[in-house]
Chain A
């Protein structure tokens, strides 16, 4: 314990108090549990990030301030009626596509770890994909509300938009080399189409299309192929070709190094964990053992230090958050609000599943952030805006009943 860490605690307590006051003033009838849960998750993440490196913790702290500011701005700006967003749905749809393709623009995008997801402007980097996710959900909520009856008829020509979105997702996948985000966008899209139309056939054909696209990507895109190979066989007993240096090496010493080290980190936690601050993340001489430990692999760090008990408790918080978000969707009384709340919540849940599931080797590992917990500005800010959206829908639903 140091004055530095106590200072963080005091500052963030004050920040949350402020966020709470704003929420009380703007959305008095909203679900009272969501903000504290988001606060808890952010605090867990910040504590772990501080423990891994105080410099990053300070930057993360700044991002949280910005996140809370945007949270407040969203609440204040849309407190009368957020449904005004519906009329700008095409603008949001267009915005989402523009944001998604920003990293592909030469001179603007930066490639990190094989994926083009970042935009860099004057030393300031952010991931436009995160914001695009919210824009996409708003667009879909508006679009599907209008078209749901037609879509529910199931005429072949109405499948057009579905195919367009599928194509766009695959393009994003090819452009950015990012299987995780493509899965996330497409998953959100399918869930929202299903909620709007109630037709399981759409979900099944969507899953089928994604499988075809995914298989194609696996065959044609080396980066995607590599992820799948790592997932299926992270350990080899004989040296195999290592694309990193072109020499033969055991796969665990080459491509699957990160995944394997992350599993070792989780395994080292055991049932009770090593205790916060006692985990092993570097050698005795200080060489880091887990790359990207505070972003993609924050869950491995937490699972090691908090153990099965702590990690499960944190996942339960995620589950309660999702359950309450879905409850808001059920309580809302117009289609746009229902679709918006359900889409935001499902996106939140699916993103958690994709990153933690990847770290746990349930699915191929793709680098996306763990909502509220991972280090990363775009992610923190986006999730606070997502939270504001849920509170707005909740407030309206409760105020009317």
Chain B
């Protein structure tokens, strides 16, 4: 019988050893996966014992998120406070007990709670735990420029819209505004969340928690002509000086599509170059270019600019949308683009094309940066509580959207738009600004989404971006959004360039 007893003993010990293996799995390999799950209340509550790291603006001084300590049942707990009461709220998000976490408070949680895999963080938090002192998280410095963000938010106040401004050479985001906005301090107060939900705005739903800059999907209107122009130049068939006859309309499927209204010029331009057509945003010309190129070529150009991919950023993935054709609320890839998609309308940014402001800022950035889109980022650096740099984000190319030659040609066209085209209201004295207006039809007569994409200074652009203002009655990109873009650029440019005559 002893042989059998030995076998049973072995089986019993193997079963128990499996428990050690299982425990090891959950406490090492799977631990970080468990920790980041949204319904992990234990982790969330446990992290209230951690003095969460500060979130700072690019100047390293302006505190965007801090802590208020409170002693509950003999335990010192740290609750989040946002001293700016609504500064890039949708981007920064919140960290609460009842509503979990959002924005970069969620995605950068491991740095903020010093539970990241950095050796320094591991030792310092282990040391704190062993000593029994409060674990202090790492401070996170963002690329957000206080002045630019404030200007963007104040100019968008009272409307629904978004603005993104970034450095096309480094990828650092200066401003990411979305209105209506909210005060993140209210999320966890009694009735605060209901109050946020009941926010009044000229759009329905007001959705103040939505980050319109990265999630909002709008028809791009004429700003999309930038993609069409790039496709035209990249095709080799066209040059900036190619000439066209503008009859004042374009025939699509036997129907006339008239030129748009946001032109100060005549209804019919006659013989024009590609530059002039772009400068004055002549729909008929672009419509015909589109019909020549076909939807397939335009869409594949758009893909090169990042359409059909979710742009990289530190915010949660579900808070970012891909731009592209949408059908019944879903991103839609046509099987035969040349026959399934109306190339004429697509060429000037209608059809079923929907874009995010971040995507359009990336389009402007590609033109400004010799055709290269840098990886957009919000995180500048992570500092330990002692001030040592744990992470420093370096500029990284994201994709080559077009050739330097094409980018340079379109850059000149965008400068022409601001100098003497539809975007003159973005002019800044002493600074060469490039831009493109867009006035997208919303389906309601005379109500438009007003766009402006931009970069400056043209010689060496350090700013690029996009502004969209929703549902403007007879409001055009050139009159509504260009002045906002101008103010944002002025906030970022060094003061000397603003005072020059």
Contact = CB atoms under 8 A, between A and B. Distances in A.
Given A260-B39, A261-B42, A362-B19, A322 B26 contact: no
A319 B27 contact: no
Interface string A42-81: 0000000000000000000000000000000000000000
Nearest to A354: B15
B390 interface: no
Interface in B43-58: 43, 45-46, 48-49
Interface stretch (A3-11, A21-29, A191-199): A191-199
B9 A267 contact: no
A350 interface: yes
11 contacts: A191-B11, A261-B41, A263-B26, A264-B37, A264-B43, A272-B126, A284-B97, A289-B45, A345-B9, A350-B12, A362-B22
Contacts of B22: 356-357, 360-362
B14 to A, nearest CB: 10
Interface string B16-52: 1111101111111011001101011111011011000
Contact of A270 (B7, B8, B31): B31
A369 B472 CA distance: 66
A323 B46 contact: no
B444 interface: no
B23 A311 contact: yes
A315 B23 contact: yes
Contacts, number: 158
Contact of B46 (A191, A280, A318, A360): A280
Contacts of B17: 319
A318 B129 CA distance: 29
A261 B41 CA distance: 8
* List of 8 A-B pairs having minimum Cβ-Cβ separation, nearest first: A326-B9, A267-B34, A360-B22, A349-B12, A280-B46, A353-B15, A264-B42, A308-B27
Interface in A268-326: 268-272, 274-275, 279-286, 289-290, 303-304, 307-308, 311-312, 315-316, 318-319, 322-323, 326
Contacts of B45: 280, 282-284, 289
Contact of B42 (A275, A280, A319, A330): A280
A283 B12 contact: no
B1 A284 contact: no
Contacts of B25: 360
A268 B41 contact: no
A308 B77 contact: no
A342 B8 contact: yes
A258 interface: no
Contacts of A196: 1, 4
B9 A195 contact: no
Interface in A178-235: 191, 194-196, 198, 235
A312 B23 contact: yes
Contacts of A284: 45, 48, 72-73, 75, 77, 97
A195 B6 CA distance: 9
A305 to B, nearest CB: 11
Given A267-B34, A268-B46, A271-B28, A253 B5 contact: no
Interface in A320-366: 322-323, 326, 329-330, 335, 338-339, 342, 345-346, 349-350, 352-353, 356-357, 360-362
A194 B10 CA distance: 13
B3 interface: yes
Contacts of A279: 46
Nearest to B24: A308
Given A261-B42, A283-B41, A315-B19, A345 B12 contact: yes
Contacts of A289: 41-42, 45
B252 interface: no
B13 interface: yes
Contacts of A191: 8, 11
Interface of A: 191, 194-196, 198, 235, 250, 252-253, 260-261, 263-272, 274-275, 279-286, 289-290, 303-304, 307-308, 311-312, 315-316, 318-319, 322-323, 326, 329-330, 335, 338-339, 342, 345-346, 349-350, 352-353, 356-357, 360-362
B5 A326 contact: yes
Contacts of A362: 18-19, 22
B2 interface: yes
Nearest to B132: A275
**Interface of B: prevailing SS:** helix
Contact of B41 (A264, A360, A361): A264
Contact of B13 (A253, A280, A319): A319
Nearest to B23: A311
A388 B17 CA distance: 25
Interface in B449-491: none
Nearest to B126: A272
A399 B15 CA distance: 32
A228 to B, nearest CB: 18
A315 B4 contact: no
A263 B37 CA distance: 11
A268 B50 CA distance: 13
Interface of B: 1-9, 11-13, 15-20, 22-28, 30-31, 34-35, 37, 39-43, 45-46, 48-49, 72-73, 75, 77, 97, 126, 129
A357 B1 contact: no
Contacts of B9: 322-323, 326, 329, 342, 345
Given A283-B97, A308-B24, A322 B12 contact: yes
Nearest to B48: A284
A360 B23 contact: yes
A383 to B, nearest CB: 16
A290 B46 CA distance: 14
Given A263-B34, A264-B37, A270-B31, A330 B19 contact: no
Contacts of A303: 23, 26-27
A264 B44 CA distance: 10
A257 to B, nearest CB: 9
A261 B40 CA distance: 7
Given A280-B45, A303-B23, A323-B9, A267 B30 contact: yes
Given A315-B19, A361-B22, 17 more contacts: A191-B8, A194-B7, A267-B26, A268-B46, A270-B27, A272-B126, A280-B45, A281-B42, A289-B41, A315-B16, A319-B13, A326-B5, A330-B5, A330-B6, A342-B5, A350-B12, A362-B22
Given A194-B8, A350-B12, A268 B42 contact: yes
Nearest to A252: B39
A280 B37 CA distance: 16
A221 to B, nearest CB: 25
A249 to B, nearest CB: 11
Given A284-B45, A286-B73, A356 B13 contact: no
Contact of B19 (A198, A250, A356): A356
Contact of B16 (A263, A274, A318, A329): A318
A289 to B, nearest CB: 6
Contacts of B16: 315, 318-319, 322, 349, 352-353
B68 to A, nearest CB: 13
Most buried by A among B5, B40, B97, B129: B5
B193 to A, nearest CB: 16
Contacts of B4: 194-196, 198
Contacts of B41: 261, 264, 283, 289
B8 A266 contact: no
A338 B5 contact: yes
A309 to B, nearest CB: 9
